[in-house]
Structures are given as structure tokens and as C-alpha cells.
Amino acid sequence: MNSLLIKNAHCIASMDAPDPGVSQEWRNASILVHGHRIAAIGPAHELPQTADEVIDAHRHLVTPGLVNTHHHMFQSLTRAIPAVQDAELFGWLRGLYPIWAGLTPNMVHVSTQIAMAELLHSGCTTSSDHLYIYPNGVRLDDSIEAAQEIGMRFVATRGSMSVGQSQGGLPPDSVVENEDFILKDTQRLIETWHDKAHGAMVNVAVAPCSPFSVSRDLMRQSALLARSFGVRLHTHLAENEHDLAYSHEKFNCTPTQYAQDLGWLGHDVWHAHCVKLDDEGISLFAATRTGVAHCPCSNMRLASGIAPVRKMLNAGVPVGLGVDGSASNDAAHMVNEARQALLLARVGRAMQPPETRTDAHGRAQTFFGCDLGPAEMTPRDALAMATRGGAQVLGRSDIGHLAVGMCADMALFDINTLSFAGGAVHDPVGALLLCASPPAAYTIVNGRVVVRQGQLTTLDLPPRIEKHNQLALQLALGQ
């Protein structure tokens, strides 16, 4: 069994406690890895000094591998398309559906690897992906095989759309699928690819796209199928005001009531966005341990709003972070996503009305939003969502924090760089989230070094980028 030693780290942020404020942060410490698991962690002088491979981390911050809970990797082919740069969600989708109808298996394979390379360079070791459009012979297998080549831990969700415009849905009829085929193919994928073992590199989840693109029956049947195999469920919910209006018009209920009626609340479910989740919805999500993929950059890009993340966390809702599709965020940098979550939460709190609070002596004091905003989310809260929170949302107990027996998924950030200057000397963890978002110096997935000194080790990236750009033009021009 091969061994790896992360030696003499300046700081290790373990995120080993549910409360990020009390998680262990080691200084001058090491991590020993045997195979794909962490074998020891602690003060450097107490751990072995040699291994099959040794990484000198004396000027590095080590964090758990970051976890991305929502993405549409094929959309990296349509980033910054001029026609939809200034559109909200529904207009953005209507503008891009006809382009995506030209996707091919090769496009999905290459775009998945480009999206994963970007994530890996930001310290992300596990990502889900929501592929919900399958033209021209595209299969989810194309994404899974791409992930295996690049070395990323992958939660592949079999998305679907079955209700086209002629039936009152949003997508064109040309890109929807037959529901019987969707269910049959989803079962095939689970039986072929889903791995339940500790350290599994591939999980499969069941993921009808959204309330405005699938039928109630497909939602119900998908939930039954997923639970018969013990896999997770994923969809979009309550993303913006149009999403709310659609639910009220078509189903005469809120998105949360719609989800509850169809069996889409539970510890095995996570919903993307939830920007417009109301107090009743937050209570139901908390009571059922239903997870949320918070996507701050995409929510800002499409002007969807500010999700009530602090309310969710305080209520006990599991919350992770998602970069969302590369055409609605236009980036896939997980440290930046966590930084934006931190900043957006503070701005959202500052926009709320003043509060009057009574102190221990019975004296009333008025607090403005700007007084309370900075405490809405701390840097360690944001890092917890990007690591431990994401693991919880994806149902993984073997990733998300650093401890003996956990998978050896880690990100190392060089703190002796320009972006950390004057910050890491005070607090390297705080500097990671408050200063300019850095790339990872090393990214380790399941004990394997996938990014070394800032370079991807598993693929020759420059020719892959060139190919991706060629395919992006081909897709946009409809050739």
C-alpha cells in the first residue's frame, strides 16, 4: 500500500467538528496517508518523517478537499454567449436550449474534463454534475468516463426533461425525452456505475431537471426508483420569481409544497438554489433534513436573488455550495464560490430592516443591517459549507473533513504568495476566504496527487483547452 506524507504544514484546517468555530486547526503539523485513507494527523514531530511520497507543506494551508454540490459541466461550452449575457433564468434557458440541442458525446466528454480541471485547480476534489439534456446519442456515461480519466470524485446525476413547450413546459419539444426511457436508462446507470463503498469514486443520483420541465408522475416515479436502489435525489427548486409563479400557476402551491406532495423531501434529497425558500419551506427542509446546494455566483449572475442561507443553517438545513452551470456562473472556482457566499450573506443581512434588541440590563438598542451583516457569515462558516456541508448534502460521510479513517481528499494552498501577503501571517484560514481567491498548489483526491505545484497531472491540459474552444465555436454556430 502506497503512502503519502503531507509534512510540516504551516496550518491544517481539519473542519472536523459540525461547528466550524471549534474545529481543530493544527500548526506545524503533518498528515500521513496509507492508500486512499488518512492514517494519522497531528504535530509534525509525532508523525513519521518519511513515506513513499513526501510533500513539503511548510508554507502551505491544508484544507479538506472542497465539495461542489451542483454543476452543469457541459455548459462550459457556452460561457459568455452574448445573446444571454444579460438574461434572467427563463430567458437565459430559452436562449441556450436551441444551442445545447447540438451537443454530441465528444462535446460532453471534453467539456466535463475542462470543467473538472477548473474545479481541481481550485482545490475541489468532489463534484456532482447535473446533465439533463441528451441529444445526438449523448449519455451520462460520457461524463462518468471523463471523470475517471481526470481523477475527480464524481456524483453523476441522471437529469431529464420530459415536458416540452407544447405541454406547457419551458424547453422545446425537440430536447425532451420519453419518461419510460428516462426511468429505464436511469436504472441502467445506477446498476452499471453506482458504488456504495467507502471512498467510492462514482455515485449516481436521480435528477429530473425542474418543475417546469418534467411531469409530476416522473417526479414521483423517480423518487420511487431512487429509494428502491438507495441512491439520492436532486433537482432545481425555488430559483427565482418566475419559478415561484410557475408553481403557483401550474400546481397551485409553493415549490416546497410541490416537493412535499411528490415525496421530494428527505435526508436523501438535495435541491439546487432555493433562493425563494420561505419560512415554511425552511422549516420543512430542516425537519426532513433535506439538503440545499447554494449557488451564490449563479444567483447573482442571473439576478435571481439572495438565498436565506443563515436562516437555513440556523434551522438545521444541510447546506453545501455549488458553482452551477459554467454558463450561468461562467467560472468554476470553489474558493471564490465560498468567498462570494460569505460576502453575499453579509450584504443580504445589511439589506434587512433595523432590529431592536434588549441587552442583559433590559436596555433597548437599535442595530442597523450594517451592524449585523458582518456576523451573518464568518470565513470558517463559508469554508465549512464548501467542505463538510457539501459532503453532508451529497450523503458522503467519508469526505468533507480531515481525520483518521477519512478519504485522503485535500487541497494545499501556498500562503507565501501575493494574494496572501499581509493576511496569512495573521490568520491563514481567514485569508483564504477574505483575500483574492487563490488556485491550489496541490489537490489530492483519494490519496492521489492530481494537481502538483499548480499543474494538472492526469491530463495534458493545453491541447484539451484548444479542442474545447473548437467545439464551443462549432456548437454555437450549429455546425
What pTM was computed for the model?
A: 0.97
Query: Do 9 and 150 reside in the same domain of the chain?
Result: no
Instruction: Collapse the DSSP code of 16 into the 3-class scheme (helix H, G, I; strand E, B; otherwise coil) and give the result.
Output: coil
User: Is 337 domain-assigned?
Assistant: yes
Domain that residue 283 falls in: 66-347
**CA-to-CA distance for 182 and 177, rounded, in angstroms?**
7
Q: Where among 347, 376, 411 does a domain terminate? A: 347
Indicate the number of domains in the chain. 2
Residue 325 lies in a domain: yes
DSSP secondary-structure letter at 64? E
Q: Are residues 46 and 115 in the same domain?
A: no
CA angle 45, 50, 51 (to 5 degrees): 130
Residues 59 and 96 reside in one and the same domain: no
Chosen domain end from 347, 378, 411: 347
Is 55 part of any domain? yes
Q: pLDDT by residue (tens digit) across 373-397? A: 998 999 999 999 999 999 999 999 9
Helix (H) or strand (E) holding 181: helix 179-193
Q: How many angstroms separate the Cα of 93 from the Cα of each of 87, 160, 168, 212, 477?
A: 9, 15, 15, 11, 17
Angstrom distance (rounded) from CA 190 to CA 311: 35
CB-based burial, 340-366: b 16+ in 10 Å, e otherwise: bbbbbbbebbeeeeeeeeeeeeeeeee
Asked if 53 and 120 sit in the same domain, the reply is: no
Q: In a structure prediction context, what are the per-residue pLDDT tens digits for the chain, which is 479 residues long?
A: 899 999 999 999 999 999 998 999 999 999 999 999 999 999 999 999 999 999 999 999 999 999 999 999 999 999 999 999 999 999 999 999 999 999 999 999 999 999 999 999 999 999 999 999 999 999 999 999 999 999 999 999 999 999 999 999 999 999 999 999 999 999 999 999 999 999 999 999 999 999 999 999 999 999 999 999 999 999 999 999 999 999 999 999 999 999 999 999 999 999 999 999 999 999 999 999 999 999 999 999 999 999 999 999 999 999 999 999 899 999 999 999 999 999 999 999 999 999 898 888 889 999 998 999 998 999 999 999 999 999 999 999 999 999 999 999 999 999 999 999 999 999 999 999 999 999 999 999 999 999 999 999 999 999 999 999 999 999 999 86
112 plus 164 within the same structural domain: yes
Spatial separation of the C-alpha atoms in residues 4 and 64, rounded to whole Å: 15
357 domain-assigned: no
Structural domain contains residue 373: no
User: In 147-210, where do the E strands start and end?
Assistant: 153-160, 202-208
| Cα–Cα dist 275/348, whole Å | 12
72 in the same domain as 18? no
Contact residues for 287 (Cβ-Cβ < 8 A; gap 6+): none
Are residue 335 and residue 434 in the same domain, yes or no?
Answer: no
Same domain, 175 and 257: yes
60-64 vs 25-34, strand pairing mode: unpaired
Residues 147 and 90 in one domain: yes
- Residue 292 domain-assigned (yes or no): yes
Which one-letter DSSP state was computed for residue 90? H
| ∠ Cα 294 296 300 (to 5°) | 140
CA 415, 421, 424, 430 dihedral sign is: negative
Dump the DSSP string for 206-244.
EEE--TTTS-HHHHHHHHHHHHHHT--EEEEES-SHHHH
Q: Are residues 180 and 307 in the same domain?
A: yes
The answer to whether the beta carbons of residues 38 and 26 sit under 8 Å apart is no
Tell me, yes or no, whether 214 lies in a domain: yes
Beta bridge partners of 62: 12, 412
Judge if 324 and 336 occupy the same domain: yes
- Residues sharing a CB contact under 8 Å with residue 268, sequence separation 6 or more, in sequence order: 226, 227, 231, 232, 233, 395
Task: Give me the residue label for grid cell 454540490.
Answer: 69
By C-alpha distance, which of 205, 218, 133, 131 is closest to 167? 218
Whether residue 49 is found in the same domain as residue 73: no
Report the CATH number at residue 191. Answer: 3.20.20.140
Distance of CA 366 to the CA centre of its chain: 37
Residue 414 lies in a domain: yes
CA angle 211, 213, 217 (to 5 degrees): 70
The number of angstroms, rounded, from the C-alpha of 216 to the middle of its chain's C-alpha atoms is 26
What DSSP character marks residue 385?
A: I
Average pLDDT, the chain: 97
> 3-class DSSP state for residue 139?
coil
The CATH number given to whatever domain includes residue 407 is 2.30.40.10
